[in-house]
Structure 1
Amino acid sequence: MPTPKDVYIAVIGAGGVGKCFLSQLEFLSKRLAANSSSPRLSLVLISRSKKILYSPQYAPLPFDNISTKLADSTQQPLPLTKTIEFLAAAPSKVILVDNTSSQDIADQYPNVLSRGISIVTPNKKAFSGSYQLWQDIFAAAASSGAGVYHESSVGAGLPVISTLKDLVDTGDSVTRIEGVFSGTMSFLFNSFAPTEGSGGKWSAEVAKAKELGYTEPDPRDDLNGLDVARKLTILARLVGLQVESPTSFPVQSLIPKELESVASGDEFLQRLPEFDAQMEETKISAEKEGKVVRFVGSIDVEKNVVKVGLEKFDRSHAIASLKGSDNIISFYTKRYGANPLIVQGAGAGGEVTAMGVTGDLLRVLQRIS
């Protein structure tokens, strides 16, 4: 028999972040089980694109070899609406963990939340899609009392969203947000235009970043700036700006016009050296001013201006001296005066992204148990 302390967990998405999350969930459930006053976590459903493993009677699925069991499962996949029905019928509290980047799942969040099911997710599309969806998500959460947390939708495991929410909720006035929001762009510019030395050719650095797994399979998905635009849309909305979508403000794409429509990422990389001179010129013009070029996003809250693109920085600036694929986000506020509150560190990677999701799960547990 379920007790009020039972909390059912459903996980959609079992890829890179999903796998890391499942091992963190196993650790967390064992830690909580050791304390009789803690909630008891039961994993009752796990799914990925064409596979599902679930417990029709809501008995906990064992964690041992869970990924293999999911791959071998012969259970008939449930449509999303049926999955929601299944979770809504559970005999105790339910948390849905969406580790995908699916717009279809994001569109269902208001429905999920209105059924009293809490959500934790790194899915940016839910919070950077239409402004209407944003409003519907938080209205559904407010009316049902379910929680919705998305720390990992910006900056992976870095405490970006929780820090901004604390600033806003405690009455500070945020005037400006600026930073490097993409691990890929951070890595690219730190190696293309380093503060010391000369760096490599742009096309060579892009090819290297892809080889090391820093870019999407098609690097254009990073170089178009939309990933950064999505993150800025989320942060701008959290400070109260009614940003309609990630394409409603200036976003500089680093894809040469002539290569926007080539057939594949491989062809794009083959032809990119033809356009090295353009980026080289940008780098040299910054160097003449004693500066380096970086790909940043900024929100001027007072002027209601959001933009993404290349900016020049003094070599001594915190944004210029980033290392590797680190992110840096600076919050300028009335309370913090001339010196911003800075959040900096690894802004990408399965383990740190999953950590943000697991941290959110703990927040929901504190709230509902």
Structure 2
Amino acid sequence: MKVLKFGGSSVARPERILGIVDILKDYYASGDHFTVVFSAFGGVTDSLIEMSRLAAAGDDRYGEAFQAFADRHQEAITALLPEGALRKETSTKMRKSHDVLKNLLYGIFLVREASPRTMDYVLSFGERSSSYIISQVLQQAGIPAEYLDARKIIRTDKTFGSAKVNFDKSYEQIRDYYAEHSKVQVVTGFVASAKGGLTTTLGRGGSDYTASLIAAGLKADAIEIWTDVSGVLTADPRRVKKAFTIPRLTYAEAMEMSHFGAKVIYPPTLMPALHSRIPLYIKNTFDPSFPGTKVSEESSSEDEAAVRGISSINNVALLTLSGSGLFGVPGISARLFGALAQKSVNIILITQGSSEHAISFAVQPSDSDLAKKAVEEAFAYEIDRGVVNAVKMERDLSVVAIIGENMRYQPGVSGRLFQALGKNGINAVAIAQGSSELNVSVVIPKEDENKALNALHEAFFLSDYKTLHLFIVGVGLIGSTLLEQIRNQNDYLRSKLGMEVKVVGMANSRKMIFDEEGLELDTNWKDQLMTKGDDADLAVFIGRMRDLNLSNSIFVDNTANDKIAGYYAGILDESISISTPNKVANSSSYLQYQRLKSIAAKRGVQFHYETNVGAGLPIISTLQDLLDSGDQIRKIEGVLSGSLSFIFNNFDGTRPFHEIVREAKEKGFTEPDPRIDLSGKDVGRKILILARETGISMETEHIELKGFLPEGAMDAPSVDDFFSVLEENTDYFTKLYASAAEEGKVLRMIATLEGEQASVGVQAVGPDNPFHGLSGSDNMVVFTTDRYNERPLVVRGPGAGAEVTAAGVFAEIIKIGKFLS
């Protein structure tokens, strides 16, 4: 014998019921002996509650709600049964039943009250209607089916709304009834009866409970719970998109999953199955061939995953009783929990430190004020004496739990849990773990629940596969190149590094767009941004990134905008890592530079800016490696501007200086106003950043800029006027070049840091100098250190261009991803 149960979503529409008929035909054809339990049609229970509420409030609109209820069932009969005697019989039976409901509702309307006892009777019409109609449909399909009102076989007490089952009496009646009926019984879920024939209901998950009770009474071979998902999943699929089906669970694991919010299984359902050792299967009505989840007493083997699932309770309040008066005093816990029990307050989670100084417990928010009052009354004497503090209450919290019997066999599970939470900036308010090590529960801020579920799911089920969520501001030349590199490399990242990069948000100066599932990075993304994006608003963009609160979030700033840099502190403080070529933040005040580094360290996130100096060259990381390994920096010299490198590498006496500068501008190597480059200010910002990385608290004004331009160049009213000044001073630049050439030297704009002195200026260097052989737009940095003294360490390569800069940012994104792993 098998007991099958189909939920409300499975019978929500006539076409779904026909799908169930097909499933049951296969069972019948294979010779399986089975009975089947049905919930009310999807949404019907809610409509019955609503019409009762309206009637009790004296609102005659209850009649409209009732008529919709009656019409829905008559329409189902018409859709499911062909015209004839069976349809007529079914329709007549339903009309009579619904007339009783109509009169009952009118009575509620007259007395303006719907007691729990009355409500149980009202709600029973949902299951009684659906089960009777489906029993007739099964007969029409050739299955010898018979309608069974569960009130005949399941006995309870008179706790209306959630009645307590009399197991011995119920099992006896189940056995007796089935001994006399050989047809396929189609049973009403959820409903039962008390002494005197009063209708009762079994509470949340009652139809599943009905199936389990019948199975236990009949010593069935299996229970099958058919629903709209493919078994018990590793996490809630509405919150964790990558959740997948757990093939098998023990009763204990399933119980824990259900306690912590997994709605596929309800705890009462498991108890009869557990006591009778009946395996329970969770299957999908809409994918009947999928095996689903098996719940049984079979223990997981030690080589299986330690964590079987992750679940959560969405909204709890945490109360804490603390004080010196608790230490070493026997009976404190008994008084505390006794006071709560007297007020019928259910406790979700309990945690107490070994110091006995505090006991924390989580309750439903609706019970929090009552719980606080009850505990403070119980400890009023100690509170008045000042040895126990007033109860502390924290709201807007959630409980997240990892569950699995194998956790006891595998060390490091808790460490992985807290590492995943910590790297995503999620604070653990309280922690609880039983000695059985069946679950580890963590109380966290409610706003972080989704983020925590996804971070933990990746840590335990996708540990070889991680998703990075990018928010990119600036999709011009560098940004668009970065997007292309991500698109071209994502397959490699998935297969070789177990990493997927999703661009969740992007913005330029005019538009911004978001997609939590990841924006498509095909060639059409620019059109998508401009046609479907909202008007750009930096504050809104940052706020949306914060509110999405996605795990493994990274903010990428590809601009040179000082306003965006002003948001860095807040972004890091939200535990979001940053990668940026924008030099503004790190070259502003030393206090701000230190603040950003401090926040990143405090929040445990990454702040990367390698491309601030030398585009994609590993200059900052090389310097950090030298310092971290204990080397001492004696001098840093560098050609740190690709545009200036291009200009001076091409200034070989064959062409006037102004022509070379104009070419550099036309190629996009310089800023729109080349004076920004030629003044040395940009190079000054770069040597400033390197100085700060060595630990020197230097400010911009401490850098000596040795100007080389002729008088009037920097003060020219416009860029065109500036070029006119250069052209007028052609002889000046020719002499500058000739003077160096006479000594066999070339001109280079070199930044120097020695001790705590920094300068930027044009120098003439000979063949023995490493900068002499520079070509193109290459950058070069020379580190002279205690270890690299006689032969300094040189880093050289392209120091400008969208490809190398974007590649540098991309490398930092991957580095952040590895840190988060």
> Given the two structures, how large is their TM-score scaled by the length of structure 2?
0.42
Aligned-pair CA distance for 1:312 = 1.7
AA aligned opposite 1:227: D
Q: Which is further off, 105-114 or 348-357?
A: 105-114
Asked if 1 retains the 8 angstrom alpha-carbon contact of 2:538 and 2:564, the reply is no
Question: Which residue matches 2:501?
Answer: 41
Question: Which residue matches 1:63?
Answer: 521
The alpha-carbon distance between structure 1 residues 185 and 73, as it changes in their structure 2 partners (threshold 3 A), is: same
Question: Which residue matches 1:204?
Answer: 659
CA deviation vs aligned residue, 1:103-132 (integer Å, no higher than 9, x gap): 111121111101100000111111111111
The alpha-carbon distance between structure 1 residues 74 and 107, as it changes in their structure 2 partners (threshold 3 A), is: closer
CA deviation vs aligned residue, 1:66-112 (integer Å, no higher than 9, x gap): 122112234232332x3222222323221001101111111211111
Aligned-pair CA distance for 1:262 = 2.5
3-state SS, counterpart of residue 185 of structure 1: helix
The alpha-carbon distance between structure 1 residues 73 and 254, as it changes in their structure 2 partners (threshold 3 A), is: farther
Matched, 1:28 2:484: no
AA aligned opposite 2:527: T
Asked if 2 retains the 8 angstrom alpha-carbon contact of 1:7 and 1:42, the reply is yes
The alpha-carbon distance between structure 1 residues 334 and 266, as it changes in their structure 2 partners (threshold 3 A), is: same
Aligned with residue 816 of structure 2, among 354, 364, 369: 364
Aligned with residue 248 of structure 1, among 694, 702, 710: 702
Question: Which residue matches 2:543?
Answer: 85
AA aligned opposite 1:23: E
Question: Which residue matches 1:154?
Answer: 613
AA aligned opposite 1:226: K
Q: Which is further off, 62-71 or 284-293?
A: 284-293
CA distance in structure 2 between the partners assigned to 1:66 and 1:254 by the alignment? 45
Question: Which residue matches 1:305?
Answer: 757
Q: Percent identity?
A: 36
Question: Which residue matches 2:683?
Answer: 228
Asked if 2 retains the 8 angstrom alpha-carbon contact of 1:331 and 1:342, the reply is yes
Question: Which residue matches 2:717?
Answer: 263
Alignment: residue pair count: 358
CA deviation vs aligned residue, 1:163-196 (integer Å, no higher than 9, x gap): 111111111111111121111111111121x4xx
The alpha-carbon distance between structure 1 residues 226 and 276, as it changes in their structure 2 partners (threshold 3 A), is: same
Asked if 1 retains the 8 angstrom alpha-carbon contact of 2:664 and 2:670, the reply is yes
3-state SS, counterpart of residue 258 of structure 1: coil
Structure 1 residues without counterparts, runs of 5 or longer: none
3-state SS, counterpart of residue 616 of structure 2: coil
3-state SS, counterpart of residue 218 of structure 1: coil
Question: Which residue matches 1:353?
Answer: 805
AA aligned opposite 2:568: Y
CA distance in structure 2 between the partners assigned to 1:155 and 1:72 by the alignment? 36
Question: Which residue matches 2:736?
Answer: 282
CA distance in structure 1 between the partners assigned to 2:542 and 2:530 by the alignment? 22
CA distance in structure 1 between the partners assigned to 2:605 and 2:799 by the alignment? 28
Matched, 1:136 2:601: no
CA distance in structure 1 between the partners assigned to 2:808 and 2:611 by the alignment? 5
CA distance in structure 1 between the partners assigned to 2:727 and 2:597 by the alignment? 46
CA distance in structure 1 between the partners assigned to 2:678 and 2:480 by the alignment? 27
AA aligned opposite 2:506: I
Aligned-pair CA distance for 1:352 = 0.4
Asked if 2 retains the 8 angstrom alpha-carbon contact of 1:262 and 1:268, the reply is yes
Asked if 2 retains the 8 angstrom alpha-carbon contact of 1:225 and 1:254, the reply is no
Asked if 1 retains the 8 angstrom alpha-carbon contact of 2:710 and 2:732, the reply is no
The structure with the largest alpha-carbon Rg is 2
3-state SS, counterpart of residue 795 of structure 2: strand
Asked if 2 retains the 8 angstrom alpha-carbon contact of 1:111 and 1:140, the reply is no
Matched, 1:176 2:619: no
Q: Which is further off, 68-77 or 170-179?
A: 68-77
Aligned with residue 239 of structure 1, among 694, 697, 704: 694
Question: Which residue matches 2:378?
Answer: none
3-state SS, counterpart of residue 761 of structure 2: strand
Matched, 1:50 2:510: yes
AA aligned opposite 1:99: N
The alpha-carbon distance between structure 1 residues 109 and 286, as it changes in their structure 2 partners (threshold 3 A), is: same
CA distance in structure 1 between the partners assigned to 2:803 and 2:482 by the alignment? 7
CA distance in structure 1 between the partners assigned to 2:590 and 2:616 by the alignment? 25
The alpha-carbon distance between structure 1 residues 321 and 70, as it changes in their structure 2 partners (threshold 3 A), is: same
Q: Which is further off, 100-109 or 347-356?
A: 100-109
Structure 2 residues without counterparts, runs of 5 or longer: 1-239, 242-453, 456-465
Aligned-pair CA distance for 1:44 = 0.9
Asked if 1 retains the 8 angstrom alpha-carbon contact of 2:512 and 2:541, the reply is no
The runs of at least 4 consecutive aligned structure 1 residues that moved more than 6 Å come to none
Matched, 1:217 2:633: no
CA RMSD of aligned residues (A): 1.7
Aligned-pair CA distance for 1:315 = 2.8
Aligned-pair CA distance for 1:12 = 0.4
Asked if 1 retains the 8 angstrom alpha-carbon contact of 2:579 and 2:607, the reply is yes
3-state SS, counterpart of residue 164 of structure 1: helix
User: Which residues of 2 match residues 337-348 of structure 1 at below 5 A?
Assistant: 337-348=789-800
Aligned-pair CA distance for 1:276 = 2.2
CA deviation vs aligned residue, 1:196-238 (integer Å, no higher than 9, x gap): xx33222222223223332222211211111111110111111
CA deviation vs aligned residue, 1:251-301 (integer Å, no higher than 9, x gap): 12344331323232122113311122322232232233332221111110x
